[in-house]
Amino acid sequence: MKVIHSVHPEDFKSYQTAQIRERFLIDQLVQADKLNCTYTHYDRMIVGAAHPVTQSVELENYPNLRADYFLERREIGVINVAGDGEVTADGQTFQVNKLDCLYIGKGVKSVKFTSKNSAQPAVFYLLSAPAHAVYPTTLMTNEDAAKVHTGSIETANKRTINKYIHLEGIKSCQLVMGLTILHDGSVWNTMPAHVHDRRMEAYFYFDVPAGQRVFHYMGEGQETRHILMGNYDAVVSPPWSIHSGSGTASYSFIWGMAGENLDYTDMDAIAIPDIR
């Protein structure tokens, strides 16, 4: 399992493009019939993806965890971003179709991912954080997700935020998770930008059209940098960093956090004229 270490904001100011990509970008996550994970030292979050095509794939244990099984002291959130699929947790099978979310709590020993149709396979995006208490495995369909409509066509950021794992949604220890869909003609996400010093955050970009890219902006509000992102690329945002993006076409992305609290609105906004 790849490991990403924490970076101090003063050190980050001297990074060049290749070093920024090495320290924050998580690419090549989605590979046929594999489950790939990256361990980050930001709130001990694990970012992963399972892409069962011709066979099921299982959530394996990793030596890094020093645990008897992956979820011995962890919880995990799963969102499907492609074809219809199934997730089996300790023998209980859940239908997890595109944009549906499944939360699996601490103590579940066996997790298996399957596509319903190999011609249109599922892509399951995974976020896992340490957990100190047990919460039940819970499925929430996209239809049942809390939705917030925000932005406008005039500012190229009309979007729908779908909240799944949060204070008023699926219960968890640390995880907060959902996804944002940009409407046709809109390309900006999370603008105005913000930071939240009590939580890290990870973004996973999907439904990025072929040949298009997203410029993901990060860094302190007055010391911004960017990473160029493709479809199914993920990026880690430290607590001191903004996390915003602008694409060459409309796209969607999953956001997920772990840290001191579950309050989705806990953020410190940065006015657009103050960004540098």
DSSP string of 24-52, one letter each residue: HEE-S---TTEEEEEEESSTT-EEEEEE-
Nearest alpha-carbon partner for 235 in 117, 143, 127? 127
Residue 171 class from Cβ within 10 Å (0-12 exposed, 13-18 middle, 19+ buried)? middle
Buried b (16+ CB within 10 A) or exposed e, 126-152: bbbbbbeeebebbbbebeebeeeeebe
| 58, 88 contact by CB (below 8 A) | no
Cβ neighbours, 10 Å, residue 33: 15
Which amino acid is residue 166, in one-letter code?
H
Residues 6 or more apart in contact with residue 205 via CB below 8 angstroms: 214, 216, 229, 230, 231, 232, 233, 234, 245, 251, 252, 253
Residue 167 class from Cβ within 10 Å (0-12 exposed, 13-18 middle, 19+ buried)? middle
Binding positions: 194, 196, 201, 243
DSSP string of 178-191, one letter each residue: EEEEEPTT--EES-
Binding positions for Zn(2+): 194, 196, 201, 243
The structure tokens 């976020």 sit at 127
Cβ neighbours, 10 Å, residue 192: 15
Cβ neighbours, 10 Å, residue 225: 18
| 213, 189 contact by CB (below 8 A) | no
